[in-house]
Amino acid sequence: MEMSKNLIAASAKPMILSLLLKGESYGYEILQNVAALSGGTIDWSEALLYPVLHRLEKEGLVRSKWKMSGENRMRKYYTLTPFGRRELEAERERWLSIHGTFVKLWTLAEETK
């Protein structure tokens, strides 16, 4: 299934914030988690991810810190800020509303067949 670029771009922020809700993560790990959780249907590139992470950091939703990984490599880890948690809850409500509307529309369409 091919995803439109607009849908991918619109969903990047809430997906990243949701992933960071469980704890800190670095870029490549975020890419891997999104691919795994979507069953491979969402395959972000670094070119999509890092500008979004930088924007989220600039907006105060996430913060970053360079740390040594278990493989003796420096990695930039991202964590959710308290403001980011509040924004995630607002995003969640918006997406649930959109989802609920689609469910109603599709149910109505099925009933009229």
Q: What is the tens place of the pLDDT at every residue in 85-95? A: 999 999 999 99
Which residues in the chain land under pLDDT 50? Answer: none
Fold classification of 5-111 is Arc Repressor Mutant, subunit A (1.10.10)
Closest-CA residue to 42 (of 15, 61, 62, 23): 15
- Reference 63, options 52, 77, 75; nearest CA is 77
What are the b/e assignments for 12-43, b being 16+ CB within 10 Å? bbbbbbbbbeeebbbbeebbebbeeeeeeebe
pLDDT value for 60: 99
Give which of 111, 6, 88 is closest to 103, Cα–Cα: 111
Domain residue ranges of the chain, discontinuous segments joined by +: 5-111
Q: Report d(CA 13, CA 25) in Å as an integer.
A: 15
Whole-model pTM: value is 0.90
